[in-house]
Chains A and B, each alone.
Chain A
Amino acid sequence: MFDIFEGYDLLGAFWITVKLTVFSGIGALVLGTVLAAMRVSPVPLMRGFATVYVNVVRNIPLTVIIVFCSLGLSNIFGVTLGAADDFEELAFRLAVLGLAAYTAVFVCEAVRSGINTVPVGQAEAARAIGLSFTQVLRHIVLPQAFRSVIGPLTNVLIALTKNTTVASAIGVAEAALLMKEMIENEAQLLLISAVFALGFVILTLPTGLFLGWVGKRMAVKR
């Protein structure tokens, strides 16, 4: 019954899904934190820029962004990301770029809401006892903010794992593309779909449960 999976690199496809998630997750975390820092900064122009970025990017479909990375950035503008003659690697890197740019918005919103959950009185009290800006951040605000950010960031990570399937639109050989190929060529539609669905359940469910548990344990009770 499972012979149909012979000749297809099922694990390899899911490995690419995992790699897409990890790389774009790291990229999104970095970019999103920078955006969040800009969104809460005292400089109005930076706040404005970050707000515009968030509102523009969150309203563009991810598919449009990823397809643009391939057809626009790569084909027209000649962006190669250091993989000029390796088509597979180039598509992978473009997908990571698109996913990171898109997911950064949601990371930014999660981090910002985390900072906003810290009551202003906490920082005011800290300043009143004479702590400096960096001390306030290090000892008072960030420890509380990080803890309340775990839950929302988990949701972002799970959404990102599912969103990596969009990379199949530009031919990255991840799980969804392999599934498309297999159900077109093989007869066992239900079995194949069930296996791929199970693969994603295995990727997302334990992460969600574990990080959800961590988030709940770490959350600051108010």
Chain B
Amino acid sequence: MTSVLYDAPGPRAKRRNIFYTVAFVVLLALGVWWIFSVMGDKGQLEWSLWEPFVTAQAWTTYLLPGLGNTLKAAALSLVIALPLGAVFGIARMSDHRWVRVPAGVIVEFFRAIPVLLLMLFANEFYSAYTGVSTDVRPLYAVVTGLVLYNASVIAEIVRAGILSLPKGQSEAAKAIGLRKGQTMTSILLPQAVTAMLPALVSQLVVIVKDTTLGGALLAFPELLNARGTLAANYANVIPSFIIVAIIFIILNLMLTTFASWLERRLRRAKRSSGAVLAADTAGAEEPVAEPGVKTDDGRAT
């Protein structure tokens, strides 16, 4: 295999690679052995700590309701943030300064501050100024915080999606006499929505991960919080962390796989204009301006 860094290996490089492989296997084995010996020393490998996870009770009482709350908060946030983000994304591209500038300031502001601050603010806001009951207040706070943050991220995705369309699309619309609003709703948006689907699905991963903040700091009973109650009951701190981490990994891997499958499929489709935003566009500082260009900027939240 040739890459920018090395050629296909010759006899000497092959020998060297085998040596590196063996050395790395030894290192890995030492690491794994060390982890297991520490877990054994601290009694974390005992079957009694893992047994709850093969019984139905641990799942029906703690984990599944927690996972349900995680999914509920994530889904609600995405559904509310989508239209809001679309409005701000379009407003940012308006021809009128007085629309464009405030929209830009709002989007940049909410992208610059941590989502946890927004959640804390929303929680205190609901408790001080509204009659939201304390049972649902954490959910409201988590969703509000996630909506404020993700709407501004989605606004950028929408903007990148529309900018990724070939210029000819809006020029053609103008040529046949469509108004600005008509161009947006019947020409640009339908294509942009397809182009940004993969990026939106990947953003859902970020949202799912951020719901855990509510569990840790606002007592929102999502999966991480449910782990706490579960571990308090069965005294299985390490096993419960491992199980919860595995649930998150499976859930998020499914979402990322779906996003990249969607991206590949959309790229192949002949019907579209060829513009597809890469699944990890979200979080990119600059929107992708050229059609079909894949940016590899880190999706880092």
Interface residue? A155 (CB, 8 A): yes
Inter-chain contact total with CB atoms closer than 8 Å? 183
Q: Secondary structure of the B side of the interface?
A: helix
* Known contacts A64-B241, A123-B5; A45 and B24 CB within 8 A of each other: yes
Interface residue? B171 (CB, 8 A): no
- Asked if residues B120 and A122 are in contact (CB atoms below 8 Å), the reply is no
* Known contacts A61-B248, A76-B44; A42 and B216 CB within 8 A of each other: no
Interface residue? A99 (CB, 8 A): no
Residue from A67, A75, A122 within 8 A of B224 (CB atoms): A67
Q: How many chain A residues touch B (Cβ–Cβ < 8 Å)?
A: 74
Closest B residue to A120 using CB positions = B4
- Asked if residues B4 and A166 are in contact (CB atoms below 8 Å), the reply is no
Residues of chain A contacted by B6 (CB below 8 angstroms): 42, 133
Interface residue? B46 (CB, 8 A): no
* Known contacts A42-B9, A59-B248; A200 and B24 CB within 8 A of each other: no
Contact residues of A between 36 and 72, Cβ < 8 Å to B: 40-46, 49, 55-56, 58-64, 67-68, 71-72
* Known contacts A61-B224, A61-B248, A122-B4; A116 and B296 CB within 8 A of each other: yes
- Asked if residues B285 and A208 are in contact (CB atoms below 8 Å), the reply is yes
Q: Could you list 16 A-B pairs, sorted by A, with CB under 8 Å?
A: A42-B17, A49-B28, A61-B209, A64-B241, A67-B216, A137-B5, A141-B4, A152-B296, A154-B285, A159-B298, A162-B114, A166-B216, A168-B116, A189-B128, A196-B117, A205-B108
State the B residues within 8 Å of A (CB).
1-7, 9, 13, 17, 20-21, 24-25, 28, 38, 42, 44, 108-109, 112-117, 120-121, 124-125, 128, 205, 208-213, 215-217, 224, 237-238, 241, 244-245, 248-249, 251-253, 256, 283-286, 296-301
